[in-house]
């Protein structure tokens, strides 16, 4: 299932709960996140629906190295030849094929990371992105480093459409939220990271939950404004 979130941005539901985003650029598509191991099927199906070829996905940019975002990445690269990009602070996790013990602040997080179904094929990054970078070839996708959920978590601002793709920096499953602290690497960093997100937006995409567009974006701006300030 897919739908247009903003001009040049297609939201793809890779499962009932998870979204990836296809961004049209100068040289083809930049895919933001992949999903679980079954996600490549849905992603390639959407590309075909749009009348395009798998090789039109030129690069994959991962918001962070958690299994629900990266598990399908190696297989998608095999089908498309896309380059995989990630922030340097999450690169070792991507290449290890699992979240390490220090990657979650709470015992529950560390416990679930022992489950083999939350591991993935160790995946080499083809490139690294940093705060402030414009993703090459993406036609206007800007990297904002938002550590907390993971050390190398990023959100992506599509400048031409003023659309922000939030990864797991915020969730919109029923209501807007920052997610369980136990699953975050350093939960205390999350508020400072959210404070870095611009508020002049036309659309907001979440890796988990319902996107917001047009007048709905107001609820996201209110959510950002009402978060407690860091001391
Ligand atoms: Zn995550
Ligand atoms: Zn996630």
Average pLDDT over residues 48-64: 98
Q: Which residues surround ligand 1, an ion (CB under 5 A)?
A: 66, 168
In a domain, 76, yes or no: yes
For residue 231, is pLDDT > 60? no
In a domain, 231, yes or no: no
In a domain, 204, yes or no: yes
- What's the gap in Å between 72 CA and the centre of ligand 1? 14
19: domain CATH number is 3.60.15.10
Q: What is the pLDDT of residues 154-189, one digit of tens each?
A: 999 999 999 999 999 999 999 999 999 999 999 999
pLDDT class of 99 with cuts at 50, 70, 90: very high
How big, in percent rounded to 5, are the helix, strand and coil portions of the chain? 30, 25, 45
Q: What is the pLDDT of residues 130-163, one digit of tens each?
A: 999 999 999 899 999 999 999 999 999 999 999 9
Q: Which ligand is closest in space to the CA of residue 64? A: 1
- What's the gap in Å between 13 CA and the centre of ligand 1? 16
Q: Number of folded domains in the chain?
A: 1
- What's the gap in Å between 175 CA and the centre of ligand 1? 17
Average pLDDT over residues 201-205: 98
Short-list 184, 217, 180, CA closest to 202: 217
Q: Which ligand is closest in space to the CA of residue 69? A: 2
In a domain, 97, yes or no: yes
In a domain, 119, yes or no: yes
pLDDT value for 229: 74
In a domain, 59, yes or no: yes
Measured in degrees and rounded to the nearest 5, phi and psi for residue 207 equal -65, -30
pLDDT value for 230: 65
Domain that holds residue 115: 2-226
- What's the gap in Å between 119 CA and the centre of ligand 1? 13
């Amino acid at each position: 299932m897919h739908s247009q979130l903003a001009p040049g941005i297609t939201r793809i539901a890779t499962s009932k709960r998870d979204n990836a985003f296809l961004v049209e650029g100068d040289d083809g598509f930049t895919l933001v996140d992949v999903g679980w191991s079954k996600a490549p099927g849905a992603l390639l199906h959407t590309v075909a629906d749009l009348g395009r070829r798998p090789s039109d996905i030129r690069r994959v940019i991962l918001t962070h190295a958690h299994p629900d975002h990266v598990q399908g990445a190696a297989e998608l690269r095999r089908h498309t030849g896309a380059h995989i990009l990630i922030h340097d602070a999450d690169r070792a996790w991507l290449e290890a094929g699992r979240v390490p013990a220090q990657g979650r602040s709470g015992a529950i997080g560390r416990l679930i990371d022992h489950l083999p179904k939350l591991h993935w094929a160790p995946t080499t990054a083809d490139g690294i992105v940093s705060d402030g970078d414009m993703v090459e070839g993406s036609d206007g996708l800007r990297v904002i480093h938002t550590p907390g959920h993971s050390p190398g978590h990023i959100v992506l601002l599509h400048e031409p459409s003023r659309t922000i793709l939030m990864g797991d920096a915020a969730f919109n499953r029923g209501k807007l939220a920052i997610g369980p602290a136990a699953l975050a690497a350093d939960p205390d960093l999350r508020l400072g990271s959210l404070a870095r997100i611009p508020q002049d937006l036309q659309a907001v995409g979440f890796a988990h939950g319902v996107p917001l567009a047009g007048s709905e974006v107001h609820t996201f701006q209110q959510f950002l404004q009402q978060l407690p300030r860091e001391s």
